[in-house]
């Protein structure tokens, strides 16, 4: 059975042909369609969605992305006219979980299945694995090197802590999820407790959250400065290394 079956999806695009094509591709889903910003905003504010798919041009997609992220909806940018490293970077920074070129709409089910199976978490590593060659041809082989954002971002995805299953953030309210396996998402409950204890012993109070108690909460005061933030991150890294044996 497709992981998309029965999922509620909002599609926003100012081109009727695109709306109809995506709806046909997602015939196993419950689909709402909007062709303009105001209609889309009403849907986002009034209903709950498993996935939101946004065009960028014509519907003020980045503003809608902000609204959808605030509602907690996994949001995918689907674009053609502004397919560029700049729009990809903006989508990542604003909280989109994936970014798809309209040229790849024939593979939309596969990409959205990754989003649904990712349970609302960004799936850029899978996106780059599937579309790395496409982006290289479209943007140029050195597109990641040209912008200082992308190389560190990709390296962060493959960082030395595979136990970090996800990092979620809203402002300075940050949650770091710890898992035994990044694929099965089996929680590291005892280790999360131990990391929190290590932080406390080193002068930083981390919180605990998540239904499975495997999410470390980092909630610094809004007046924190760069030096203090670096100190907190240093203690977090020290605690991770101590507990995870790095």
- pLDDT at residue 18 in the model: 93
Which SS3 state, helix, strand or coil, does residue 223 take?
Answer: coil
pLDDT at 146 over 90: no
Tens digits of residue pLDDT in 35-60: 999 999 999 999 999 999 999 988 99
Confirm if 175 and 169 have CB atoms less than 8 A apart: yes
**Alpha-carbon gap, residue 196 to 181, rounded angstroms:** 20
* Segment 125-151 mean pLDDT: 82
Percent of the chain's residues with pLDDT above 90 = 47
Confidence of residue 156 (pLDDT cuts 50, 70, 90): low
Q: Does domain 164-244 have CATH number 3.90.1150.10?
A: yes
Q: Tell me, what's the pLDDT at 98? A: 94
Gap between the Cα atoms of 129 and 34, Å rounded: 31
Domain with CATH 3.40.50.2300 in the chain: 8-154
The residues with which 11 forms a beta bridge, in sequence order, are 33, 53
Do 47 and 69 touch, CB atoms closer than 8 A? no
**Domain 8-154: CATH superfamily, name plus number:** Response regulator (3.40.50.2300)
DSSP one-letter string for 8-73: EEEEE-S-HHHHHHHHHHTTTSEEEEESSHHHHHHHHHHS--SEEEE-STTTTHHHHHHHHHHTT-
The DSSP secondary-structure symbol of 165 reads E
Q: Does 158 score more than 60 pLDDT?
A: no
Residue 197 is predicted with a pLDDT of 93
DSSP 104: G
Q: What is the model's pLDDT at position 117?
A: 86
**pLDDT tens figures, 161-180:** 788 888 777 777 888 888 98
Alpha-carbon Rg of the chain, whole angstroms?
A: 19
Most confident by average pLDDT, 22-26, 164-168, 205-209: 22-26
CATH 3.90.1150.10 residue ranges in the chain? 164-244
3-state SS assignment for residue 177: strand
pLDDT at position 69: 93
Q: What are phi and psi of 151, to 5 degrees?
A: -65, -50
The confidence score (pLDDT) of residue 153 equals: 67
Q: Alpha carbon of 161 to those of 25, 211, 246: distances in Å? A: 37, 22, 9
Kindly indicate the confidence band of residue 152, based on its pLDDT and cuts at 50, 70 and 90: confident
At 151, is the pLDDT very low, low, confident or very high (cuts 50, 70, 90)? low
Q: Is the pTM of this model over 0.85?
A: no
What is the per-residue pLDDT across 211-243, written as a single tens digit (0 to 9) for each? 788 999 988 888 888 778 778 878 888 888 889
Mean pLDDT of all residues in the chain? 88
Give the model's pLDDT for residue 246: 61
Share of the chain above pLDDT 70, in %: 95
Q: Is the pLDDT of residue 82 over 60?
A: yes
């Amino acid at each position: 059975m497709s992981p998309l079956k029965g999922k509620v999806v909002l599609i926003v695009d100012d081109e009727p042909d695109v709306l109809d094509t995506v709806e046909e591709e997602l015939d196993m889903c419950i689909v709402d369609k909007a062709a303009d910003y105001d209609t889309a905003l009403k849907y986002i504010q009034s209903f709950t969605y498993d996935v939101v798919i946004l065009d960028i041009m014509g519907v003020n997609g980045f503003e809608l992305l902000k609204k959808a992220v605030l509602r907690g909806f996994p949001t995918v940018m689907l674009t053609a006219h502004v397919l560029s490293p700049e729009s990809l970077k903006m989508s990542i920074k604003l909280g989109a979980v994936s970014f798809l070129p309209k040229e790849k709409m024939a593979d939309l089910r596969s990409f959205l299945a990754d989003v649904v199976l990712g349970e609302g978490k960004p799936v850029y590593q899978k996106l780059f694995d599937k579309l790395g060659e496409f982006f290289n041809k479209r943007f140029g082989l050195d597109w990641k090197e040209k912008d200082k954002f992308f190389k560190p971002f990709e390296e962060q995805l493959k960082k030395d802590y595979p136990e970090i299953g996800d990092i979620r953030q809203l402002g300075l309210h940050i949650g770091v999820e710890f898992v035994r396996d990044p694929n099965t998402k089996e929680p590291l409950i005892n280790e999360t407790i131990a990391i929190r204890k290590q932080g406390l012993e080193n002068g930083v109070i981390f919180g605990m959250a998540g239904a499975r108690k495997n999410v470390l909460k980092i909630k610094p005061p809004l007046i924190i400065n760069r030096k203090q933030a670096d100190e907190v991150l240093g203690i977090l890294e020290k605690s991770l290394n101590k507990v995870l044996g790095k």
